[in-house]
Structure 1
Amino acid sequence: MSQASQAKAMHDYFQSLLNDVGASDIKPEHIDMPLAVQPARVVEPELPVIESAVVTKERTQQLDQLLSTVSETIDVAVQQPVAVEVPVEEKAEQSVPEWKNITPEKEFPALFFVVSGITFAVPLTDLGGIHQLEKVTPLFGKPEWFAGVMTHRESQLNVVDSTTWFMPGQTNNEAYQYLIMLGESRWGIECHRLIGTETLHYDQIKWRDKPGKRPWLAGMVKDKMCALLHVQELLTLLQHGVNIDGQ
């Protein structure tokens, strides 16, 4: 696939995420990512640092246009507070958990990995471990994206088919190699390749300020055009048995 085709496929996919368009409406082609893949050997390896990718002026302009939709603002009419005593029962009903984005340090390390040609990043503080994928036993009555369970050290790990979850309608044509564990949970998402780790600066991320239809998306790593995962929100969706489109 040409470099122009790769850029267009990534642009269309991430544009759908940032605009909260259903991912099933976008079917990105398999992309052979240009970043150098550093081989990972075993469970929980010490991963290499990614070399900085060369970003052309044209790609920068495309990325700026792509990311311009991330900063979402809400106009709220300001009203004078009314001193009304609300019963305790009503206060409890009104307390709805508010979506909050992740708040890492000014600099934080992240793991980069590839699913069907698309690169994702996860903060190392939210990474529960990396396992080489072994036998996965499917279970009946589960969603299509639930690949099954994998036994690891006498624990049953829930395995998510990442291509099916992140890109509904997209066919996975490559064997998964690793299982990326999410936080302290027993949920893991499959990936095809590990790229490595890199320390990110806070201002390298285009942060989301409200969940929209993608609460699992914390923001975009601007110079690499990849999604930064909000692990806790991703876990909430998985535990509720829904995919990227809430289905």
Structure 2
Amino acid sequence: MPIKYLQGARYLNALSLDISGGADWVLGSYEDGGLNNLVIDTGLWIIPERYEHDLAGYEQIVKLRDSNKALAIDSMEGSQVIEESQITWNNNPKNRPWLLGTCMKFQCAVVNIPALLQSLDNAPEMA
């Protein structure tokens, strides 16, 4: 995820999550600064066809800047500069508009955060 879209990270066990209601891809919500923030089940949202709930090892969240969304993650490994030449670009964003591309060198997806937020905001469960 481009760092300019991140607001911060926190450990899940440090949050008091409200788990009542919501879509199946929302793990819960927490209040911070008077705002209600949704914690997204990242694996379920991004790769629902391969997601196995029992294997999720979420320990942290990454709060997305200028939104009320946080992505659940297993762990934060730090930041890495990825050169454009190292990215295999997603030439068909219709299927996964949040996927800018992949970087095999670091075995990661390059995430289009504005597209991800737009798809979350437009999801029927959020309307």
Cα deviation, 1:159-202, whole Å, max 9, x if unaligned, reads 11122222325223455221112231111110111111111212
> What corresponds to 1:188 in structure 2?
70
Deviation for aligned residue 1:139: 3.1
* Unmatched segments (≥5 aa) in structure 2: none
Corresponding residue number in structure 2 for 1:135: 16
Decide whether the 8 Å contact of 1:163 with 1:172 is kept in 2. Answer: no
**Which residue in the other structure is 1:124 paired with?**
3
Opposite residue 180 of structure 1, the aligned amino acid is: V
- The 1:224/1:157 distance shift into structure 2, 3 A limit, reads same
Seen in structure 2, the aligned counterparts of structure 1 residues 124 and 242 have a Cα distance that, compared at 3 Å, is farther
- Give distance in 1, aligned partners of 2:16 and 2:88: 38
Structure 2 residue identity aligned to 1:123: P
User: For residues 217 and 174 of structure 1, do their structure 2 counterparts lie closer, same or farther at Cα, with a shift above 3 Å needed?
Assistant: closer
Structure 1 contact 217–227 (Cα < 8 Å) conserved: yes
Secondary structure of the residue aligned to 1:195 is: coil
- Give the alignment partner of residue 25 of structure 2, picking from 124, 145, 151: 145
Write the deviation string for residues 19-70 of structure 1: whole angstroms up to 9, x where unpaired: xxxxxxxxxxxxxxxxxxxxxxxxxxxxxxxxxxxxxxxxxxxxxxxxxxxx
TM value normalised by structure 1: 0.45
Q: Which has the larger radius of gyration?
A: 1
CA distance in 2, matches of 1:163, 1:242: 18
76, 82, 85: which one aligns with 1:203: 85
- Report the Cα offset of residue 239 of structure 1: 0.7
> 1:224 corresponds to which residue?
106
Match of 1:215 in 2: 97
Matched residues in 2 for 1:174 and 1:227: separation? 18
TM-score (norm 2): 0.82
Higher relative contact order (CA 8 A, sep 6+): 1
Structure 1 Cα separation of the partners of residues 60 and 28 of structure 2: 14
Q: How many residues align?
A: 121
Q: Which aligned segments of 4 or more residues in structure 1 are displaced greater than 6 angstroms?
A: none
